[in-house]
Structure 1
Amino acid sequence: MKLSFVLILFILISLRGVCQFPPAAGMIGSTAIYADSNIFVSWANNCYIQRGYQNIAQPELGLVSYGNDYDAIGKANNQVVSLGDAGIAILTFSPSICDKEGFDFAVFENSFNDTFLELAFVEISSDSLHWFRFPAISLTPANNQIGTFGSVDATQIHNLAGKYRVLYGTPFDISDIEDNIYLNKQNIKYVKIIDVIGTIDSTYASFDSQGHIINDPYPTAFNTGGFDLDAVGVIHPNENAIDNNSLALAFIAPNPCDDVINIIQAPQNLEVIIYDEYGIEVLKKSNATQIQLSTLSSGVYFLRIENQEINQLFKIIKR
Structure 2
Amino acid sequence: MSAENIVETEGLRREFTVGRRRARRRVVAVSDVDLRIAPGEAVGFLGPNGAGKSTTIKMLTGILVPTTGRLRVCGLDPTRQRRELARRLGVVFGQRSQLWWDLPLRDSFELLGAIHRVPGPEHRARLERCVEVLELAPFLDVPVRQLSLGQRMRGEVTAALLHGPRLLVLDEPTVGLDLVSKERLRAFLQEVNVVDGMTILLTTHDLPDVERLCRRVVVIDQGRVVADDTIDALRARSGGAREVVVELTEPAAPLNGLSGVRDVRVEAGGLRQRLAFAPADTTAAALIAAVAARVELRDVTVVEPSIEDLVRTLYARR
Task: Decide: shared fold, TM above 0.5.
Answer: no
TM-score relative to the length of structure 2: 0.27
**If each structure's helix is expressed as a fraction of its own residues, which one has the higher value?**
2
